[in-house]
Structure 1
């Protein structure tokens, strides 16, 4: 009887692990970390920074960002010393897409009102394959530097 109970427990454990493995290898698993907006100097524009983490086995693509706080939110990458608007950015499988000062960033354009330190700005991230991800981005001081270095 003990042998049968032990074998059943091992078999159940193997089945559970198999089930977990198949889901993470076939789809993107997206989350957001280290999000912030430095309090803008301008009344019409602000920058946003965050890290999109993909723990899944499939890549995805950030195609747009929307927010009721701005007329538009655009994706930008920095190539050399030049800032360039792009239509989308890749989120690699088992990797991350980092938006940081001096690199990739979000531009909130045509702000409906200037966000101030202590507030949060609601955004929705849209992807080519995954469903949208909603994030509340805190507004930090204009000179804020995150501990992660982003």
Structure 2
């Protein structure tokens, strides 16, 4: 019986250490600033060549970072925009404060998927890669929702 305890304890220790290790730049779940993505979605586009995308990037770390680019295999290019006073302006980067968040939502900051290679349909997922100034890139699977989806109601 004692022999079984030693390998189990060694395995548990190894798993605990693996969970504490720092991620590499290609690990989609870790970053220097402690970044994570939630609430991502794309309303099903009404246009065949353009779509919008929304998400929240949380920074639980003590280091500020900056979103510098977004790419997706579904689009020729993905641009980042802010909307202030009803005027949309393309941005080259967005700051993500330490212990803060960056929100992309309808009527505010948002992503524009331009030159679509195919029109995404409700129920599908779109893959995008977020690139940051300091942290490693994050890969996000963004679900396509109905064109009239409202995240506050879930419909």
RMSD: 1.4
Partner of 1:118: 123
Aligned partners of 1:93 and 1:138: how far apart in 2? 27
Aligned match for 1:109, one of 99, 108, 114: 114
What are the Cα deviations for residues 6-42 of structure 1, in whole angstroms up to 9, with x where unaligned?
A: xxxxxxxxxxxxxx9xxxxxx4100000000000000
Q: 1:148 Cα deviation (Å)?
A: 7.5
Matched, 1:138 2:125: no
Matched, 1:35 2:40: yes
TM-score normalised to structure 2 length: 0.78
TM-score normalised to structure 1 length: 0.80
Runs of 4+ in 1 over 6 A off after TM superposition: none
Higher helix share: 1
Structure 1: segments with no counterpart, 5+ residues:
1-19, 21-26
Matched, 1:56 2:61: yes
Structure 2: segments with no counterpart, 5+ residues:
1-19, 21-31
Structure of larger gyration radius: 1
What are the Cα deviations for residues 68-105 of structure 1, in whole angstroms up to 9, with x where unaligned?
A: 00000000000111000000000110000000000000
Q: How many aligned positions are there?
A: 124
